[in-house]
């Protein structure tokens, strides 16, 4: 039996020698960091980048044609610029939402963790407050496009195990965003150092303050129709805080990869407009004619005919051949339009000048000096603040024109050109306020070219310019102007109660329902 | 960030005491096994003395023959009451040492009645075995390789002989199991010859986790990774079961229920399939076997395509290149009239239907050739088998190729009289080029060849690129739809797999009733994917090259001690106990290179941005187990097992779980006198609890940085897309099974019935959550589901004469997987989607529900129309039914007449649904016959208005041609959802065995046969117009969506087998 026992021990020894002491250590991923050992600044950088790209389904394909900056002859049966026909496209309609809320690189999720991980860390207070301001950038776009959206309970899947986030009312969101802007901007402190992770201003606290107040001005103006008193109060606070003072304050995100080798590091809209090559998106006749009839110096940098869009070499910027495409037509119906030349194909219409506006490393504008000046001009006329409306208007137009150089250094509009334009198109004066609002907000609309989300919000808020809605067969709005996009299709499935509550409160989930601030 | 903490479970098993625990437990077990000795002596028989006293050995020689007097090779010869034995050689001869004249030799061989012969004083025995019509003492391999007589087994076990896989084979042996075993459900996903196979036994035990059984090869758990499913421009990257070479399989034993597999603990929740590879057993001297199998796979086209209207939109054919480009896949143009129309490449061609020819031009025949040569040898002390197999396949898309080489070595050696050593080594080298890409239109040649305009001839598409710039000749403005010839000629993927599976086993029979055994095994592989999308590709203009490498090993150390002893006249006790250490490691590198720098140089180092991600996964399970079988009078058997597993992937507070089982087998035909008709009858019942753990790193939230930066600024990221959960605990599967095994009329009729109830608790599920949470899902551990089913196996031998025999084997199984609970907060879980359809787990419904919208109908089932005369499709969704078939069945007929054997299998599945995304796509592109409705003159759709009156609103031709009807109807699933039931003639083989007399004249030939084989020959029943109901898009849990544009194939060929 001794032999038996020794064999047993031998077998036992074989077994146990294979068993080492690191059993529990095994379950720690050697390639990952825990919250304690990780800098939230890295998350902030990612959040800035990823919330500035990836939403072109909504921004480019819907809102740009909605505001008649772009047009297309693509049918409802094809896959681009759905906003031209007011038809529903799932991917397009939900793209801003899906880009905001995304488990892998959703800007709002990364930002939320950056905010939480920098909280209560005095040495990271500037980072923390910049992140809070950025949160407003993300959510105002989102709520402007959809209305009531998850806000107070969003991105809490891990921290609160909240898998059914409620939708906050747009009113609550706006109130909260404004107070956040006020608090976070006030708490920015130059003495606490820059934030090198910032890809917009390189962490310059002074610029961030101006940006915070400028954004506050935008949010305040948004409430003009629905709650003028609230709007007025916040406009005053924004102005008191100090808004943008030159085009060098403009807030935009620039993309580092001009080759396009890494698609995550290029301007997503530029990618669609230039690399995809045969993009059927053309410049809308509405903005084209607005600029052409006013001899707008921007137009020469803005448009180009590409007879074969897949070849950049077929570009033609000769002003004589440029023309805008009317909205709401397809390849058949366009033939009855006066603009159509039957000897040519659809590429007879001007597209966007890719070398200026669709560079892969080109900027994505968020808010600019020109817009700020135009908003101030309107606020003066409304009597909310004091100032010289005409001077503000002129600054606004000039600022919008100067902004082109931010897209490409060659696109410089000279002071002489600006003055000539302002002389030919003078301020209409304040006697007829509606006329002034129309002029100011139409310039705002032109200033927001390539910023479809903002242009669309301001068109809905101000009612200007007065765009003629299209009425294409099977459209979503019965030929009325679209007021919002639809929620993602998986929300009624995955978050039904909260989705249903939002729809019950706000109105049917279609393109016709108005968001809260867009009062009839 | 902090996370709420849920209550704790389980017991703590700290690392400090682990060694001691394992060792102590092992010693404890061994002592308890020894303790059985004194218990045994209580029966009055002091057995240990016999093993100490040295018996006088006597050598016995002999020959075993069949009834005709021909030598029977491979017959087991065992000294009764001991573990000592040998087997007969190729002539039937054997030599064995016996303790003395009282010794009794037991001769057993599958298919023959066993005989017991007392040696007496004769030293030469002539033993004749009679063909067994009852097969009562058949031996099966059970968990941990423990062999048991069928009659003692208290649960359902089915053995499939290796020969069932060789003649009418599939490239993935998993798919060959289809229809063979009651309760085994094989869904060959539409993935091509190199793709994955989905195998489940008795339904699905986990909502979202792995439902595949554990594969054991020669006693070693075999990895069955699925390398990635069909997704985007990625093909199905295959699985690891496909490594098995059918020529090397001796048999496969399917352990269906929890009780059968309980000894494997956490890994056996889905049952186990035990593969034994061939050995040189039963051979004397050197033998050579050669097998060659060659088939041609012929595609056939079953789509329903309209041939009346061509490219265009709004009823108009394209007027120019731009219009043609905008409608590269739209068939909403004018009626075909043969007039010259400019196409999207600018060339004018006749406006006529040419699709049939285009498909014929594109697809070719596939070929598969598999050649195997095996060398066997043996003697008194041991044997070996060395086999080399080369399998080559060419796909029906001409650039798809596959090659698999297997080298298999098996060695068995008796080191001493009592110590046996065996080793098995399998080396697998597999290389696949251009697996089929099938999901989106990116790189999907099968999709775009079908969907591109039916009036575009091959010449308009081929070669798919500009001969100078190599840029893709795109199919229009939708750059996502890759030109099929561009995909064929320019886009590439290839994979390489190198794999070793090795097992070494040593067994020492200490006495004739006690043994110890040690086993070491390793399955290791390296798998490399290389995927090339060249620059100039429409959907990825700058090009992209991906290189993914995975290295994996799993090591197992297992020790076991076994005790087998008659306690007294009536009781016999078998005890086995042991421990196992399992360690898994994998490391992976994924390099994604984008922006090809120098054109046409398609190597990863020629890309301007290379993002590298790496992963390391480690996982260990330590286990102790024990099993005891108590037999009473050889007709009542009680079997209990227990296994405790410790998991490294769970938190130390709750990382250890115990899995027990008990089963009872009652051979009532031996207990009582039975009517003559009943030759054998057994009742069995079992209960078991098994479980499963989870993958590494599921407990904590972690951060990392992306492989690229923003101008040097690191880009942070959150590693988990799924909310982690610290409090995960293993799921448990409890199963109660009862069964009846009857053999009637001298074994001519066999009936084996089993019924079971299997319930899963604490399933670890990734609950899909709204992306607003910041995550795709949350890991929860509260899921519950239930599988109930019945399995039946009937075997009938209507005729058995000298020259003619007829065998029928019919299996029928029913299983219903019902979801009882998903999580505390949700009643639904999303498994997968395609355009308008969702696959979901829904509480109260069967597994993998097909969910979507439906057309509004009135009480009489008529469509309800809106004011425009179009059907109303409300936005609320309904669950239509399960995408998994409830009934599986197969019938095999084997007819033998003299030297000819005809074998055929018909199998079918019933009771499931399938949604055809292909038909959806054909319809909305205007390609389906139904899309013709009203194109010429408009149509009044049948139905009623919302107020109940008959619909009279005309949908004008203009509206029809603007797709108004289709756009409305396609939101509902109704038009594309079908009953997925089918019956197929799976295979037919006709074999001619050369008569012995013929080859014996040649001398060195020992056997020869030639077979004609055919596979997937005919679909005898289906309800799916235009598609094959058996083509699920996925080999995962999301069953019920068809979205493959690949034509089905029939294969024909021959098999030659020669033995020397």
Quote ipTM for the complex. Answer: 0.93
Decide if B80 contacts B104 (C-beta within 8 A): yes
List the single residue in B330, B541, B608 with the smallest CB-CB distance to A77: B330
Residue of A nearest to B876 (CA): A492
Nearest to B769 among A275, A492, A494 (CB): A494
Partner-chain contact A34 B774, CB within 8 Å:
no
Q: Is the pLDDT of residue B168 over 60?
A: yes
Give the per-residue pLDDT at A76. 63
The residue count for chain A? 520
Phi, psi of B215 (to 5 degrees): -100, 130
Q: Does residue A414 fall inside a structural domain?
A: no
- pLDDT exceeds 80 at position B21: no
> Is the CB of A263 less than 8 angstroms away from the CB of B594?
yes
Residues A92 and A193 in one domain: yes
Element (H, E) at B609: strand B607-632
Task: Tell which residue, B486, B129, B415, B449, has the closest CA to residue B301.
Answer: B449
* Same domain, residue pair A270 and A316: no
Q: How far is the C-alpha of B732 from the C-alpha of B711, rounded, in Å?
A: 50
Domain edge (last residue) among A321, A338, A357:
A357
| Kind and range of the H or E run holding A66 | helix A64-66
Q: Do residues A311 and A239 both lie within one domain?
A: no
Please tell me the total count of domains within chain A: 2
Nearest alpha carbon to residue B666 among B738, B763, B734: B738
Closest Cα in chain B, distance from residue A114 (Å): 9
Distance (Å) of CA B629 to CA A230, B155, B636: 83, 13, 10
Q: Which candidate, B311, B329, B331, places its Cα nearest to that of B320?
A: B311
DSSP classification of residue A247: G
Residues A351 and A228 in one domain: no
Give the minimum alpha-carbon distance from A210 to chain B in angstroms, rounded to a whole number: 24
CB B831 within 8 A of CB B903: no
- Same-domain pairing of A46 and A107: yes
Same domain, A258 and A221: yes
Task: Out of B18, B326, B721, name the one closest to residue A23 (CB).
Answer: B18
Q: Which of A98, A164, A256 sits opposite B711 (nearest CB)?
A: A256
Secondary structure letter of residue B132 according to DSSP: P
Q: What span, in angstroms and rounded, lies between the C-alpha atoms of A57 and A357?
A: 18
Q: Of A311, A342, A357, at which residue does a domain stop?
A: A357
pLDDT at residue A12, rounded to an integer: 53
Contact B625, B660 (CB under 8 A): no
Note which residues in 190-219 of chain A have CB less than 8 A from chain B: 196-197, 199
- Interchain pair A19, B19: CB under 8 A: yes
Residues 349-388 of A with CB under 8 A from B: none
Contacts for B914 with CB less than 8 Å, ≥ 6 apart: B850, B883, B977, B978, B980, B1024, B1027, B1029, B1032, B1040, B1041, B1042
Q: How far apart are CA B491 and CA B434, in angstroms?
A: 8
- Residues B784 and B732: their CA atoms lie apart, in Å, by 10
**What's the confidence (pLDDT) of residue B1046?**
87
Tell me the chain A residues in contact with residue B838 when contact means C-beta distances shorter than 8 Å.
Answer: 493
CA–CA dist B384, B281 (Å, integer): 7
Is 70 exceeded by the pLDDT of residue B54? Answer: no
**Is B690 exposed, middle or buried (CB count within 10 Å of its CB: 0-12, 13-18, 19+)?**
buried
Mark which residues 325-354 of A lie under 8 Å from B by CB.
Answer: 330-332, 345-347
Do A262 and A162 fall into the same domain? yes
Question: What was the pLDDT predicted at B67?
Answer: 72
Is residue A6 included in any domain, yes or no?
A: no
Tokens representing residue B194 in the block: 């190199």
Average pLDDT of B910-923? 94
Question: Does residue A6 surpass a pLDDT of 80?
Answer: no
Q: Is residue A515 part of a domain?
A: yes
Of A79, A280, A332, the CB nearest to B316: A332
User: Closest Cα of chain A to B277: distance in Å?
Assistant: 26
Distance CA B754, CA B742 (A): 12
pLDDT band, residue B554 (cuts 50/70/90): very high
Final residue belonging to a domain, choices A357, A388, A416 = A357
Q: What residues of chain A, 300 to 329, have a C-beta less than 8 Å from chain B?
A: none
Tell me the three state secondary structure of residue B38. Answer: helix
Lowest mean pLDDT among A216-220, A497-501, B268-272: B268-272
* d(CA A441, nearest CA chain B) in Å: 34
Let me know if residue A431 belongs to a domain. no
Instruction: Find the range with the poorest average confidence among A319-333, A419-433, B10-24.
Output: B10-24
Q: Which residues of B touch A493 (CB under 8 A)?
A: 828, 830, 838, 877
Q: Does A272 lie in the same domain as A284?
A: no
The DSSP-derived string for B270-298 is T-EEEEEE---TT--EEEEEEEEEEEEEE
> Which residues, listed in sequence order, are joined to residue B505 by a DSSP beta bridge?
B422, B519
| Average pLDDT of chain B to the nearest whole number | 87
**What does A148-207 look like in DSSP terms, one character per residue?**
SEE-TTTT-TTTS--SSPPEEPHHHHHHHHHHHHHHHHHH--GGG---TT-SSSTT-HHH
Q: A490 to chain B: which residues are within 8 Å by CB?
A: 770-771, 830
Q: Which residue on chain B is closest to A79 by alpha carbon?
A: B478
Closest-CA residue in chain B for A88?
Answer: B967
Is A517 inside any structural domain? yes
Count other C-beta atoms under 10 Å from residue B147's C-beta. Answer: 8
Residues from chain B contacting residue A201 (CB–CB below 8 Å)? none
User: Which residues in A lie closer than 8 A to residue B719 (C-beta atoms)?
Assistant: 29, 32
Alpha helix (H) ranges present in B754-909?
A: none
CB-based contact B295:B367 (threshold 8 Å): yes
Contact B15 A21 (CB under 8 A): yes
Structure tokens at B48: 């240990």
Mean pLDDT over all residues of chain A? 92
- The beta-carbon neighbor of A7 closest among B508, B608, B615 is B508
Q: Is A467 within 8 Å of chain B by CB?
A: no
Q: Are residues A132 and A196 in the same domain?
A: yes
Name the packing angle between helices A389-402 and A415-424 (round to 10°): 130
Considering only the beta carbons, identify the residue of A3, A8, A77 that sits closest to B30. Answer: A8
Does the beta-carbon distance from B772 to A265 stay under 8 Å? no
pLDDT in tens, B212-228: 999 999 988 998 888 88
**CA geometry: angle at B152 spanning B147 and B154, to 5°?**
105
Whether A369 maps to a domain, the answer reads no
Q: Is A384 left (phi over 0), alpha (psi -120 to 50) or beta?
A: alpha
3-state secondary structure at position A100: helix
Residues of chain A with Cβ-Cβ distance to B19 below 8 Å are 16, 19
Interface test with A, best of B316, B771, B921 (most A CBs within 10 A): B771
- Shared-domain flag, residues A216 and A90: yes
Count of other CB atoms within 10 angstroms of residue A412: 13
Q: Is the dihedral of CA A369, A371, A374, A378 positive or negative?
A: negative
pLDDT at B825 over 80: no
Residue in A261, A308, A490 to test binding to B, most B beta-carbons within 10 Å: A261
Q: Which of B516, B877, B963 sits opposite A7 (nearest CB)?
A: B516
Given an 8 Å threshold on Cβ–Cβ distance, is B22 in contact with A9? Answer: no
The reply to whether residue A75 touches residue B326, judged by beta carbons under 8 angstroms, is yes
Please check whether residue A420 touches B, CB under 8 A: no
Beta strand B777-800 pairing with B722-723: parallel
Closest by Cβ to B721, choosing from A104, A116, A160: A104
Identify whether B199 is preceded by a cis peptide bond (ω within 30 of 0): no
B516 and A29 in contact by Cβ < 8 A?
Answer: no
Same domain as A195, residue A92 = yes
Q: E strands along B72-202, which residues? A: 76-79, 85-87, 93-98, 104-108, 115-118, 124-128, 139-141, 147-149, 157-161, 184-188, 197-201
Whether A313 maps to a domain, the answer reads yes
Measured distance CA(B416)–CA(B803) in Å, rounded: 45
Q: Rounded to whole angstroms, how far apart are CA atoms A3 and B419?
A: 14
CB atoms within 10 A of CB B570: 12
d(CA B86, CA B97): 9
Contact A24 B715 (CB under 8 A): no
- Per DSSP, what are the bridge partners of residue B493? B531
Q: Do B619 and A26 count as a contact with CB atoms less than 8 A apart?
A: yes
Closest CA to A219 of A255, A183, A177: A177
Shortest CA distance from A26: residue in chain B: B618
User: A78 pLDDT exceeds 70?
Assistant: no
CA angle A461, A281, A309 (to 5 degrees): 155
> Across the interface, which of B23, B579, B718 has its CB nearest the CB of A109?
B718
Residue B813 and residue B889 in contact, taking contact as beta carbons nearer than 8 Å: yes
Which run of H or E residues covers position A269? Answer: helix A268-270
Q: Which two tokens stand for residue B721?
A: 């897309």
Q: How confident is the model at residue B632 (pLDDT cuts 50, 70, 90)?
A: very high
What residue of B is the nearest CA neighbor of A159?
A: B3
Domain with A288, as residue range(s), is: 278-357
Predicted pLDDT at B56: 61
Q: Does A271 map to a domain? A: yes
CB-CB: which of B322, B583, B611 is closest to A346?
A: B322
Highest mean pLDDT among A382-396, B165-179, B273-287: A382-396
Residue range B244-261: mean pLDDT, rounded: 89
List, in sequence order, every residue forming a beta bridge with B800; answer none if it has no partner.
Answer: B805
Sequence-ordered strand ranges (E) for B164-299: 184-188, 197-201, 214-217, 220-222, 249-255, 272-277, 285-299
| Secondary structure class of A13 (helix, strand, coil) | helix
Q: Taking each helix axis from N to C terminus, what angle separates A205-222 and A228-241, rounded to the nearest 10 degrees? A: 170
3-state secondary structure of A25: helix
Least confident of A124-133, A167-176, B459-468: B459-468
Q: Which residues of B touch A33 (CB under 8 A)?
A: 702-704
Q: CB B648 to CB A27 under 8 A?
A: yes
CB B422 within 8 A of CB B412: yes
CATH number at residue A70: 1.25.40.390
* Furthest C-alpha separation in chain A: 115
Is the Cβ pair B696, A276 closer than 8 Å?
no
- B742 contacts: CB under 8 Å, gap ≥ 6: B678, B680, B681, B682, B750, B751, B752
Query: What is the DSSP track for A307-349?
Result: SSTT-GGGEE--GGG--PBPTT--TTGGGGSTT--TTS-GGGS
B502-551 tens-digit pLDDT: 999 999 999 989 999 999 999 999 999 999 999 999 898 889 999 999 99
Same domain, A201 and A222: yes
Q: Which residues of B touch A46 (CB under 8 A)?
A: 706, 715-717
Chain B residues whose beta carbon lies within 8 Å of the beta carbon of residue A165: 770, 772-773
Does residue A114 register a pLDDT over 50? yes
Q: Tokens for B161, please give them.
A: 């002989």
Pick A42's closest partner by Cβ from B26, B715, B967.
Answer: B715
Q: Which range among A83-97, A439-453, B763-777, B890-904 has the greatest average pLDDT? A: A439-453
């Amino acid at each position: 039996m001794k032999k038996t026992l020794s064999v047993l021990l031998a077998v036992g020894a074989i077994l146990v020698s294979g068993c080492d002491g690191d059993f529990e250590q095994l379950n720690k991923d050697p390639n990952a960091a825990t919250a304690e050992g990780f800098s939230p600044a890295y998350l902030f950088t990612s959040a800035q980048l990823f919330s500035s790209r990836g939403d072109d389904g909504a921004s480019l394909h819907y809102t740009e044609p909605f505001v008649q900056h772009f047009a297309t002859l693509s049918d409802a049966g094809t896959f681009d610029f759905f906003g031209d026909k007011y038809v529903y496209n799932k991917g397009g309609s939900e793209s801003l939402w899906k880009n905001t809320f995304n488990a892998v690189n959703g800007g709002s999720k990364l930002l939320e963790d950056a905010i939480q991980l920098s909280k209560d860390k005095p040495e990271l207070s500037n980072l923390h407050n910049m992140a809070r301001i950025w949160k407003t950038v993300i959510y105002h776009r989102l709520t402007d496009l959809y209305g009531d959206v998850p806000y107070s309970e969003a991105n809490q899947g891990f921290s609160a195990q909240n898998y059914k986030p409620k939708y906050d009312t747009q009113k609550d969101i706006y109130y909260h965003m404004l107070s956040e802007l006020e608090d976070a901007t006030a708490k920015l402190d130059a003495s606490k150092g820059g934030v090198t992770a910032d890809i917009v201003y390189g962490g310059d606290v002074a610029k961030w303050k101006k940006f915070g107040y400028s954004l506050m001005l935008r949010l305040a103006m948004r409430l003009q129709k629905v709650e003028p008193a609230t709007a007025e109060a916040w406009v005053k606070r924004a102005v008191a805080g100090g808004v943008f003072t030159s085009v060098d304050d403009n807030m935009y995100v620039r993309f580092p990869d001009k080759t396009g080798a890494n698609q995550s590091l290029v301007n997503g809209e530029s990618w669609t407009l230039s690399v995809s090559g045969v993009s059927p998106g053309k410049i809308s006749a509405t903005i084209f004619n607005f600029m052409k009839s006013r001899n707008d110096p921007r137009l020469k940098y803005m448009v180009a005919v590409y007879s074969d869009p897949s070849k950049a070499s077929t570009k033609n910027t000769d002003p004589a051949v440029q023309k805008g495409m009317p909205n709401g037509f397809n390849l058949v119906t366009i033939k009855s339009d006066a603009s159509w030349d039957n000897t040519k194909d659809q590429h007879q219409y001007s597209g966007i000048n890719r070398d200026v506006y669709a560079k892969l490393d080109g900027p994505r504008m968020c808010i600019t000096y020109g817009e700020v000046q135009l908003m101030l001009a309107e606020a003066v006329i409304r009597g909310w603040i004091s100032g010289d409306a005409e001077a503000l208007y002129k600054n606004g137009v000039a600022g919008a024109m100067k902004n082109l150089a931010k897209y490409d250094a060659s696109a410089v509009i000279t002071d002489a050109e600006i003055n000539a334009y302002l002389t030919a198109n003078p301020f209409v004066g304040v006697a007829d306020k509606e006329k002034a609002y129309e002029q100011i907000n139409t310039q705002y609309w032109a200033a927001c070219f390539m910023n479809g989300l903002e242009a669309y919000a301001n068109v809905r808020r101000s009612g200007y310019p007065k765009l003629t809605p299209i009425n294409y067969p099977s459209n979503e709005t019965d030929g009325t102007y679209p007021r919002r996009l639809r929620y993602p299709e998986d929300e009624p499935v995955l978050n039904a109660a909260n989705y249903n509550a939002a729809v019950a409160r706000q109105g049917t989930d279609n393109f016709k329902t108005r968001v809260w601030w867009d009062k009839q | 960030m902090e996370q709420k903490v849920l209550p704790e479970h389980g017991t703590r098993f700290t690392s400090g005491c682990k060694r001691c625990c394992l060792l102590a437990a092992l010693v404890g077990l061994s002592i308890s096994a020894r303790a059985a000795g004194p218990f045994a002596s209580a029966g009055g028989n002091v057995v240990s003395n016999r093993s100490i006293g040295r018996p006088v050995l006597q050598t016995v020689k002999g020959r075993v023959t069949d009834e005709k007097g021909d030598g029977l090779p491979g017959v087991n010869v065992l000294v009764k009451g001991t573990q000592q034995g040998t087997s007969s050689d190729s002539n039937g001869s054997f030599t064995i040492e016996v303790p003395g004249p009282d010794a009794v030799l037991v001769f057993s061989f599958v298919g023959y009645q066993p005989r017991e012969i007392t040696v007496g004083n004769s030293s030469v025995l002539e033993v004749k075995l009679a063909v067994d019509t009852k097969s009562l003492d058949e031996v099966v391999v059970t968990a941990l390789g423990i062999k048991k007589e069928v009659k003692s087994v208290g649960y359902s076990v089915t053995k499939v002989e290796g020969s069932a896989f060789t003649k009418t084979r599939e490239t993935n042996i998993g798919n060959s199991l289809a229809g063979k075993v009651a309760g085994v459900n094989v869904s060959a996903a539409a993935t091509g010859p190199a793709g994955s196979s989905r195998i489940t036994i008795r339904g699905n035990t986990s909502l979202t986790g792995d439902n595949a059984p554990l594969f054991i090869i020669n006693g070693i758990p075999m990895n069955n990774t699925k390398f990635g499913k069909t997704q985007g421009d990625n093909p199905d990257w295959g699985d690891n079961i496909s490594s098995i070479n059918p020529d090397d399989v001796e048999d496969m034993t399917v352990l269906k229920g929890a009780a059968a597999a309980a000894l494997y603990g956490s890994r056996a929740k889905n049952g186990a399939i035990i593969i034994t590879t061939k050995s040189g057993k039963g051979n004397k001297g050197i033998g050579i076997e050669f097998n060659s199998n060659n088939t041609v796979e012929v595609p056939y086209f079953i789509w329903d395509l309209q041939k009346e209207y061509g490219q265009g939109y709004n009823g108009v054919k394209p007027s120019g290149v731009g219009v043609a480009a905008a409608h590269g896949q739209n068939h909403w143009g004018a009626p075909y009239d043969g007039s010259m129309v400019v196409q999207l490449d600018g060339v004018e061609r006749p406006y006529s239907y040419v699709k049939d020819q285009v498909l014929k031009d594109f697809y070719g025949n596939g070929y598969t050739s598999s050649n195997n040569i095996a060398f066997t040898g043996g003697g008194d002390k041991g044997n070996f088998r060395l086999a080399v197999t080369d399998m080559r396949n060419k796909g029906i898309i001409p650039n798809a190729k596959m090659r698999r080489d297997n080298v298999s070595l098996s060695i068995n050696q008796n080191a001493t009289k009592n110590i046996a050593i065996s080793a098995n080594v399998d080396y697998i080298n597999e290389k696949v080029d251009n697996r089929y890409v099938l999901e989106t239109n990116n790189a999907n040649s099968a999709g775009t060849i079908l969907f591109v305009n039916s009036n575009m001839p091959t010449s308009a598409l081929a070669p798919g690129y500009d001969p100078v710039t190599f840029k893709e000749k795109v199919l229009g403005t939708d750059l996502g739809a890759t030109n099929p010839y561009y995909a064929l000629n320019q886009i590439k993927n290839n994979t390489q797999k190198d794999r070793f599976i090795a097992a070494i086993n040593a067994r020492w029979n200490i006495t004739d009733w006690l043994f110890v055994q040690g086993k070491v095994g390793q399955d290791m592989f390296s798998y490399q994917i290389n995927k090339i999308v060249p620059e100039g590709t429409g959907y990825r203009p700058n090009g992209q090259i991906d290189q993914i490498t995975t290295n994996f090993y799993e090591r197992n150390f297992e020790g076991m001690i076994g005790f087998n002893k008659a306690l007294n006249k009536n009781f016999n006790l078998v005890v086995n106990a042991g421990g196992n250490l399992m360690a898994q490691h994998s490391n992976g590198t994924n390099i994604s290179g984008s922006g090809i720098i120098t054109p046409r140089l398609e190597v990863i180092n020629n890309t301007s941005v290379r993002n590298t991600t790496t992963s390391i996964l480690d996982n260990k399970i330590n286990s102790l187990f024990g099993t005891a079988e108590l037999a009473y009078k050889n007709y009542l058997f009680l079997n209990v097992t227990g296994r405790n597993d410790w998991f490294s992937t769970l938190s130390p507070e709750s990382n250890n779980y115990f899995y027990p089982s008990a089963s009872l087998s009652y051979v009532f035909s031996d207990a009582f006198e039975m009517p003559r008709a009943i030759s054998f009858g057994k009742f069995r019942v079992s209960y078991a609890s098994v479980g499963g753990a989870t993958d590494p790193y599921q407990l904590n939230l972690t951060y990392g940085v992306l492989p690229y930066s923003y101008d040097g600024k690191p880009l942070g990221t959150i590693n988990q897309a799924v909310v982690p959960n610290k409090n995960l605990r293993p799921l448990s599967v409890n199963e109660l099974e009862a069964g009846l095994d009857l053999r009637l009329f001298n074994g001519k009729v066999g009936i084996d019935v089993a019924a079971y109830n299997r319930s899963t608790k604490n399933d670890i599920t990734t609950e899909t959550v709204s992306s607003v949470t910041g995550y795709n899902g949350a890991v929860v551990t509260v899921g519950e589901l239930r599988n109930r089913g019945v399995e039946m196996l009937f075997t009938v031998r209507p005729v058995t004469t000298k020259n003619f025999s007829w065998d029928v084997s019919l299996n029928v199984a029913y299983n219903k997987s019902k979801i009882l609970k998903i999580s505390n907060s949700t009643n639904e879980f999303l498994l997968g989607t395609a355009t308008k359809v969702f696959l979901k787990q829904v509480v109260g419904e069967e597994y993998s529900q097909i969910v979507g919208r439906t057309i509004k109908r009135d009480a009489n089932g008529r469509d309800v129309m809106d004011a425009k005369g179009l059907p109303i499709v409300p936005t609320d969704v309904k669950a239509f039914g399960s995408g998994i078939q409830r009934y599986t069945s197969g019938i095999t007929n084997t007819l033998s007449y003299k030297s000819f054997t005809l074998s055929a299998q018909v199998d079918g599945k019933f009771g499931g649904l399938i949604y055809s995304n292909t038909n959806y796509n054909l319809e909305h592109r205007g390609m389906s016959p139904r899309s013709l409705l009203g194109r010429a003159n408009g149509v009044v759709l049948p139905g009623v208005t919302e107020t109940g009156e008959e619909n009279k609103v005309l949908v004008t031709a203009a509206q029809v041609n603007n797709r108004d009807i289709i756009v409305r109807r396609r939101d509902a699933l109704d038009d594309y959802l079908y009953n997925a039931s089918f019956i197929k003639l799976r295979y037919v083989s006709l074999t001619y065995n050369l008569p012995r007399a013929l080859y014996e004249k040649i001398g060195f030939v020992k056997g020869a046969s030639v077979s004609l084989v055919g596979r997937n020959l005919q679909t005898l029943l289906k309800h799916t117009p235009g598609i094959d109901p058996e083509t699920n898009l996925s080999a995962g849990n999301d069953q019920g969506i068809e979205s493959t544009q690949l034509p089905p194939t029939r294969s024909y060929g021959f098999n030659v087998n020669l033995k020397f």
